[in-house]
Chain A
């Protein structure tokens, strides 16, 4: 039962109820989307599984390209996951119709040699990504000489963006180093993905508790960094409703749907965030991929809305990096 007081079950959060490596130069997101819009017959087994006589709307979902802006490589520290092998993850994503996936690394949470983490991420995407994985390196602004990590992400690895994990790296969003990181990222035209949580804080391992990142200082920081393109990942548990709407209005802020909850959640989200700021994200392999995909089926969305969320919005965001 989800309810209106803190933390019984359900989402246990204030938001509980109600309810791009630049892609390789030879492969633009746009072309991929168009290609796959034509050829991807919504092969996702999940949707096929629900296309029985009691799911009259399933057949109405139109095929489309699919850009997953929230996947991770390597191993979650506390559990083996099906898909924590890159080849297996890519095979799964392809089987689900994903045409491009923005990938961070679980290693970035706890490893201190961030340069090695990012180099492995880039190499893994290049060697095993099948032209699908786009690496988003991580920078910890509390590490000495973190600016060099940022430079390598942009220049050596040709990454189109960064993925930040403040609650694992021990800083708040009013930290001057964070503001500097955003300024440098914006100056290089990098997308910044800000991960608010990695898991439900109620069930964290007792030896590895990381409180959700508070976004209260973020609007002020955004106003000081007008060229920044920010995407919030895993944000819905801690940021929704008017607070999310207000933040979205403070800058070029996008969200994805991996931790979106409540029936018809995408429809509700569109009441707070403009359509062009809503992107697809699965948080695979931590989450079952089907969760995000089925959310697009659960909410009654027009073809244009589906296309925007599945592909076009991510493509547009990525295009700005060039």
Chain B
């Protein structure tokens, strides 16, 4: 029983190293120990909640440097801040249209139901780039710009052709899964929370295995704890294959093909 594994959600931060290439190299060393073939990398070595246009570019430059060193192991996602719409569009064009990146990452600068996201999501959809949106539902209280799965569902309604990835599935996954369930173009990225048993089973039961993605949130999280969510789940091996690699490949296939990248 061997699985090819692609990790749809990793970072340079939280990994030892004084340069982007060193951080990614170290991350890949740990990934190799667990059989993870490819990493989607997003955000720079020192992430910022609300990056300025300059900081956005710097963080994306760090990812570009890192993935250039490991072209067969890493794919880049461009980090955008919807508070800076034009700068984000420029960055999207620079890194995805004209560069090697294949997806978009949005974090906590602005809740994603805000109309400021519309031009960004529309452009990402034109470029066939999936959009990873951080989401969390905290009983302790979200940050002011921190999105919930409900916010993402609103965005999804406005962008029926977009490919949206609900990062962390809202953290509170028993609610998050229910929120995104009616929106077939929202995928559940199960990374980032504790490896609580039952998470993946419920996601597969309610969404179908075709809408569930493995990601880790490494380096802040362990690859191990997040892999366990799939490996330890009481689901068929066919579902695990979809979650580990099949769905991510399917989502990325259009943009990879457009860029002439063969899998």
Chain A residues proximal to chain B, CB less than 8 Å: 1-3, 5, 7-12, 16-19, 45-46, 48-58, 79-83, 199-204, 206, 209, 259-265, 284-295, 297-300
When C-beta atoms are compared, the residue in chain A nearest to B47 turns out to be A3
Chain B residues proximal to chain A, CB less than 8 Å: 1-5, 11, 13-16, 26-27, 30, 32-37, 42-43, 47, 49, 107-108, 134, 136-140, 143, 146, 167-168, 171-172, 174, 192-198, 201, 217-225, 227-229, 231-234, 240
6 tightest CB-CB pairs across the interface, nearest first?
A: A2-B220, A55-B35, A288-B232, A52-B2, A294-B224, A291-B228
12 contacts between A and B (CB under 8 A): A2-B221, A3-B13, A9-B192, A52-B3, A54-B5, A81-B197, A202-B139, A203-B172, A261-B222, A262-B220, A265-B222, A289-B228
Task: Let me know if A79 and B14 touch, CB within 8 A.
Answer: no
Tell me the minimal C-beta distance from A68 to chain B in angstroms: 14
* Residue with the highest number of chain A CB atoms closer than 10 Å, among B16, B36, B219: B219
Tell me the minimal C-beta distance from A285 to chain B in angstroms: 6
Task: Let me know if B198 and A81 touch, CB within 8 A.
Answer: yes
Tell me the minimal C-beta distance from B147 to chain A in angstroms: 11
A246 to B159, CA, bound (A): 52
Task: Let me know if A17 and B220 touch, CB within 8 A.
Answer: yes
A96 to B250, CA, bound (A): 33
The residues of B that contact A9 with a CB separation of less than 8 Å are: 134, 136, 167-168, 171, 192-193, 217
Tell me the minimal C-beta distance from B55 to chain A in angstroms: 14
The residues of B that contact A55 with a CB separation of less than 8 Å are: 32-35
Task: Let me know if B136 and A260 touch, CB within 8 A.
Answer: no
Task: Let me know if B194 and A297 touch, CB within 8 A.
Answer: no
Partner of B220 from A3, A50, A81, A288 at Cβ < 8 Å: A3
Partner of A262 from B32, B168, B219 at Cβ < 8 Å: B219
The residues of A that contact B221 with a CB separation of less than 8 Å are: 2, 10-11, 261-263
A52-B2, A206-B139 known; A263+B197 contact, CB < 8 A? no
Tell me the minimal C-beta distance from B14 to chain A in angstroms: 5
Task: Let me know if B1 and A1 touch, CB within 8 A.
Answer: no
Partner of B146 from A2, A8, A263 at Cβ < 8 Å: A8
The residues of B that contact A50 with a CB separation of less than 8 Å are: 2-3, 5, 34-35, 227, 231
Tell me the minimal C-beta distance from A302 to chain B in angstroms: 14
A286 to B195, CA, bound (A): 8
When C-beta atoms are compared, the residue in chain B nearest to A53 turns out to be B2
Task: Let me know if A263 and B234 touch, CB within 8 A.
Answer: no
The residues of A that contact B227 with a CB separation of less than 8 Å are: 46, 50, 290-291, 294
Tell me the minimal C-beta distance from B90 to chain A in angstroms: 22
The residues of B that contact A80 with a CB separation of less than 8 Å are: 198
Tell me the minimal C-beta distance from B20 to chain A in angstroms: 16
Task: Let me know if A45 and B1 touch, CB within 8 A.
Answer: yes
Task: Let me know if B220 and A54 touch, CB within 8 A.
Answer: no
Task: Let me know if B228 and A294 touch, CB within 8 A.
Answer: yes
The residues of B that contact A287 with a CB separation of less than 8 Å are: 194-197, 225, 228
Task: Let me know if B13 and A295 touch, CB within 8 A.
Answer: no
Task: Let me know if B33 and A300 touch, CB within 8 A.
Answer: yes
Tell me the minimal C-beta distance from A310 to chain B in angstroms: 15
Partner of B30 from A206, A261, A263 at Cβ < 8 Å: A263
Partner of B1 from A48, A209, A284 at Cβ < 8 Å: A48
Task: Let me know if A46 and B136 touch, CB within 8 A.
Answer: no
The residues of A that contact B11 with a CB separation of less than 8 Å are: 1-2
A55-B34, A288-B229 known; A200+B198 contact, CB < 8 A? no
A200-B194, A263-B219 known; A7+B35 contact, CB < 8 A? no
A95 to B11, CA, bound (A): 34
Task: Let me know if B134 and A288 touch, CB within 8 A.
Answer: no
The residues of B that contact A289 with a CB separation of less than 8 Å are: 228, 232
Task: Let me know if A290 and B231 touch, CB within 8 A.
Answer: yes
A57 to B27, CA, bound (A): 15
* Residue with the highest number of chain B CB atoms closer than 10 Å, among A8, A12, A45: A8
Task: Let me know if A1 and B217 touch, CB within 8 A.
Answer: yes
Given contacts A259-B194, A263-B30, 5 further A-B contacts (CB under 8 A): A1-B220, A49-B231, A263-B27, A292-B224, A299-B33
* Residue with the highest number of chain A CB atoms closer than 10 Å, among B2, B220, B240: B220
